[in-house]
Amino acid sequence: MSTQPLLVEATTHLSEVSFCVVDLETTGGAEDSRITEFGAVRVKGGEVTGEFGTLVNPHTHIPAAIAVLTGITDSMVAGAPRLADVLPSFLEFAHGCVVVAHNARFDVGFLRRACAELGHTWPDPPVVDTVGLARSVMLRDEVPNHRLATLARHFHASVEPDHRALSDARATVDVLHALIERIGSLGVHTLEDLLEFTRHVHPARRARRTWAQGVPEKPGVYCFVAESQASDGPRREVLYVGTSKNLRHRVRSYFTAAETRPRIDEMVRLATGVETTVCRTQLEAQVLELRLIAAHSPRYNRRSKFPEKASWVKLTTEAFPRFSLVSRVLDDGARYLGPFRRRSAAEEALLALYDACAMRRCTTRLSVRTPRAACAVAELGHCCAPCELGPGTAAYAAVVETARAIFDGDVRAVVGAAEARLARLVVQERFEEAAAVHRRLETFHDGMRRSHRVRTLAACPEVVAARRKDEGWEIHVVRYGRLAAATVSVRGEDARAVAESAVAGAQYVAPPVPPLPAATVEETERIADWLESDGVRIIELTGDWSWPLHLGHRLTQLAAEYDRAAVDEDDGSRDLELVALQRRGATLPRMPS
């Protein structure tokens, strides 16, 4: 039997839900026990729509204690059908239903094992356990325990349970209806609400699900807030900011068992309300979320707890320039590569740059008039010693030009240096060093891609673009890498006229300090993701939005080739991988001139 999809929506009203109330009798409670009787009742809207009951031949002895309890003996089941004949009929009977049982773990466990044993796929329907539901609803002074017989007597069930499957299933139907009637006064009207009562959701959190009732089913941003009265007046704190394509469904999920994060459970209990902002496009919602997090630093957002600490590699503007790791960009005419998400990543990229450019590593400010003695780095051949003001000065100027070309996007020098070094290290079987070079190359590639992706978009005074969405177009105006306007053109409207109106009403954005965008780097990257997605059409572009030549293809190719041939010393394939890597290194195409 193929897997049955969930046929009941989470927001289906209980009157529209089909329940299959099931009870099984078995030869015992162990996993190797066998089913001796099926009993099931289908109900919908409080009415019984079908019943299913049969004995099952377990092909094993029924213990005396079980026979006394249930009244089912070996002679009664001797002529009964086999489980292999009964199970498909039951699965068909329960098709499309929410399964209900008293102590559902027991009954559903037997059904799962029976399906696995006989080669059927368990359809995994929603399950309601009347034991868990009763524990959530019944007060301690109402019933001494939550056994089926106790609850049936308390609710005056029409059938008294007697440890026979169909009788117990009929009694469970009455108990289920009584419990649903009880919790209806608490605002439980949907299947999702019903399932929550059988799970471990804190009552204070569950009681706040009414906050989602007035939330629109549209894309946008939601904020959980906590308002309190302080000595200096009312105080409002934004606890958490999120975004969703459907605000009502997302906000509602915070009050259900679907949300399992302990910190979020704590946040919901502290909150006093939810505020939502409807956005016209998903990109607008993502950008607004980032801006609100930056403005309020909500303590329950991971971005607030672990903010990105950007690092940049700087090519200084001294008489004899050098590389420097910095944490911010200045308006000083220097070239910057980044940002890198971690300082360690910037350090890896810096080593890749040093492999390609014999730049000086000293931090001393050198003079073009006063020579200085060369340091140990120059003696090792890693720097042409411009400090001596000799022949190395002209050579160093050529090195600086290579570094400037790399920062502008021509990475051939970095790739060529890494390629040559990898080939040497592999031949010498220095695999750990080769892995380090490979890691530097990947980190450098990621940093270069991010740097140019952000920088080129940040350099454009204005980009107006559209993408077809449903029955219309979503249109965005981007200025210097910042979202300045977002709108939607519905079917029948002139999309170009709508775009022109959006441009006219777009936010003014002042030119930023290059290479920074006018927004956060993360916002500009979100915008770049959207601009590079399928179906986007550029309506108007002011400036140059482009990718530098030689940036990605060769770098990605070399990294992929090395990655496929990476040495795995743990599985004994060292020699085989060495031969493969040497073969690839010998046939690598050369960089274009």
120 is catalytic: no
Last residue of a domain, one of 195, 220, 255: 195
* 208 and 186 share one domain: no
* 177 and 78 share one domain: yes
What confidence score (pLDDT) does residue 189 get? 81
* 50 and 96 share one domain: yes
Does residue 479 contact residue 545 with C-beta atoms inside 8 Å?
A: no
Instruction: In whole angstroms, give the CA distance from residue 297 to residue 467.
Output: 32
**Element holding 19 (H helix, E strand):** strand 18-26
* 474 and 538 share one domain: yes
Catalytic residue from among 120, 163, 249, 550? 163
**Element holding 83 (H helix, E strand):** helix 83-93
Residue 415 lies in a domain: yes
Residue 93 lies in a domain: yes
* 22 and 159 share one domain: yes
**Element holding 86 (H helix, E strand):** helix 83-93
* 497 and 559 share one domain: no
* 116 and 171 share one domain: yes
Residue 373 lies in a domain: no
Residue 344 lies in a domain: no
CB hemisphere CA count around 409 (13 angstroms): 16
* 447 and 464 share one domain: no
Residue 336 lies in a domain: no
What confidence score (pLDDT) does residue 501 get? 94
Q: Report which residue type is found at 438.
A: H
Residue 374 lies in a domain: no
Instruction: In whole angstroms, give the CA distance from residue 107 to residue 426.
Output: 61
* 109 and 162 share one domain: yes
Last residue of a domain, one of 273, 305, 337: 305
CATH number where 245 lies: 3.40.1440.10
Residue 396 lies in a domain: no
SS (H, E, C) 175-227: HHHHHHHHHHCCCCCEHHHHHHCCCCCCHHHHHHHHHHCCCCCCCEEEEEEEE
Report the DSSP beta bridge partners of residue 273: 225
Residue 179 lies in a domain: yes
Report the DSSP beta bridge partners of residue 236: 227
CATH number where 45 lies: 3.30.420.10
What confidence score (pLDDT) does residue 536 get? 92
User: Given strand 311-315, what is the order of strands in its sheet?
Assistant: 323-326, 311-315, 335-340
* 78 and 26 share one domain: yes
pLDDT along the chain (593 residues), means of 10: 40 88 94 94 95 95 93 94 96 95 95 95 93 83 91 94 95 95 80 72 72 89 89 86 92 77 83 93 94 92 73 90 91 89 90 88 80 72 73 82 88 85 85 86 87 90 91 93 94 89 94 91 93 91 76 53 46 36 33 30
Number of domains in the chain: 4
Last residue of a domain, one of 167, 195, 223: 195
* 428 and 563 share one domain: yes
What confidence score (pLDDT) does residue 228 get? 84
Instruction: In whole angstroms, give the CA distance from residue 302 to residue 63.
Output: 57
Instruction: In whole angstroms, give the CA distance from residue 21 to residue 37.
Output: 14
* 163 and 56 share one domain: yes
3-state percent helix, strand, coil for the chain, nearest multiple of 5: 45, 20, 40
* Domain limits for position 578: 409-454+549-593
